[in-house]
Amino acid sequence: MNIQSSEGCGCSVSEEPRRPLTRKDFQSPQEVKWCPGCGGYGILSQVQNVLPKLGIPRENLVFVSGIGCSSRFPYYMNTYGIHSIHGRAPAVALGLKCARPDLSVWVVTGDGDSFSIGTNHMVHCLRRNLDINILLFNNQIYGLTKGQYSPTSEFGKKTKSSPLGTIEQPIHPVQIALAAEATFVARAVFSDQAHLGQVIEAAARHKGTSFVEILQNCLVFNDGAFDSFTDRAVRDENRILLEHGKPIRFGAGGRRGVMIRDMQPRLVTIGEDGVREEDLLVHDAHSSSRALESLLASLEPPEFPVALGIFRQVERPTYDDLLMAQIDAAVAKNGRGQLPRLLSGGTTWWVD
C-alpha cells in the first residue's frame, strides 16, 4: 500500500494557499502514464475541473485506488492519495472516512478491480451509504494485464483468455449499485466531456455514497467498445440522456421515447400510432422505488439505446454520521474510555 501526496513531500498544510483554487492546483507534476488516447485523460481532466468548484482545501481531499490502469489516478492528483491493494479500495476508504469524517474521500477503481476480487467490498460499501464518491472506470477489459476479458465483458467476447469467446454473462455495475440501495447512481461516457463533468459534480455534492460508472475506451485492447452510442453519426439514436422529472426521449429532435407495454419497455415514436409526449415514461431519480431505475439500467444496444445520466439520487442517513452519533452517545453516557482498561477489561491470556 502506497500512502503519499502526489507532490511526494508530505507538505505541511500551512503551505496550502487560502485563495480560490483552480484546475491547475490539482494537477500533479508527475507524468501521466496512460496510453495515448486513453479515456482516463478525459476523466482526470473533468475531476480536476470539478474540484475547485467544491471549495474543499487540497489537504482535506484523499483519492483511494486499488490495482489497475485506473488506480494510477492518485499519483496524478495534487492531493493526498492511497494506492491500496487489489479490490480493497472501498474498505480502505471506509476506514479512512470513519477515522477522519471531515475528509472528502474518493475511490477510483476499474471494472476488474471492483467487480472481480473486490465485489464484496464494493457491495457492502454501497449498502452502508458511507459519504464517499466512487468513480468506476469501465472499459470492459483487463488493460493493465494486457487484454483478458473482465467481469463486465460482453458474452462471447474473444480475448487472450477467452479465444473462443467468453461463456460468462457480464456483470452490470449500475444494476448492482441499485440493488445494493446506493443513494446516488449514475452513468456517463468518457467522450462526452460536458455531460461527464456535470455528473461528477452532482456526485461530489451528494451526501452519501455516490457511484458513477464511466464507460471508458481502451484504445489498445478494446477499442470501439462504445462506438454505437459515442460516434457522432449515430449517438442521438442510441443513447438516452436522463433528466429528473422529464419524459424519457431520444433521437433527432427528441422524437422517440420509451413506454411500458405488457410490463416490457417499448420504443415508440411521438406522433405515430397515436403516441403523445404525455404517454412517455417520466424519469424520477428521487423515487424510493428502484423499479424504473432498474428498468432503465437494463436497456442495452442493439435492441435499445443506452441510458446515461443520474439514475437515482435520494437522501438517507450516512454510515459515518450514524457511527459518530453512536460514539458521541456512548461517550456522553460512560465517559471517555481508557485503552489499557479496555485491553484488560475482559477475559485475557498472557502468553510467555
Any idea which residue has 477499442 for its cell?
223
Short-list 126, 115, 124, CA closest to 177 = 126
DSSP per position, 119-137: HHHHHHHHHHT-S-EEEEE
pLDDT given at position 4: 55
CB 43 within 8 A of CB 31: no
CB 135 within 8 A of CB 108: yes
pLDDT given at position 9: 40
Each residue of 242-270: b (16+ CB within 10 Å) or e?
A: beeeebbbbbeebebbbeeeeeebeebeb
- Give the relative orientation of helices 119-128 and 89-99 as an angle to the nearest 10 degrees: 40
Q: Cell numbers at residue 182, please?
A: 446506493
Short-list 22, 39, 2, CA closest to 78 = 22
Cβ-based burial of 62 (10 A; exposed 0-12, middle 13-18, buried ≥19): buried
Torsion of CA 213, 219, 220, 223, to 10 degrees: 80
Q: Which CATH number fits domain 2-245+283-320: 1.20.1560.10, 1.10.287.130, 3.40.50.970, 3.90.226.10?
A: 3.40.50.970
Q: Cell numbers at residue 320, please?
A: 459515518
As a whole number of angstroms, the distance between CA 63 and CA 81 comes to: 5
Q: What is the pLDDT along the chain (352 residues), one digit of tens a residue?
A: 555 555 544 443 445 557 899 999 999 999 999 999 999 999 999 999 999 999 999 999 999 999 999 999 999 999 999 999 999 999 999 999 999 999 999 999 999 999 999 999 999 999 999 999 999 999 999 988 888 989 999 999 999 999 999 999 999 999 999 999 999 999 999 999 999 999 999 999 999 999 999 999 999 999 999 999 999 899 999 999 999 999 999 999 999 999 998 889 999 999 998 999 999 999 999 999 999 999 999 999 899 999 999 999 999 999 999 999 999 999 999 999 888 888 888 887 778 8
Q: Cell numbers at residue 5, please?
A: 501526496
Query: Which residues in the chain are classed under CATH 3.40.50.970?
Result: 2-245+283-320
**Side-chain half-sphere of 169: how many Cα atoms within 13 Å?**
2
342, containing H or E segment: helix 339-344
DSSP per position, 229-249: HHSTTTHHHHEEE--TTSB-E
CB 213 within 8 A of CB 281: no
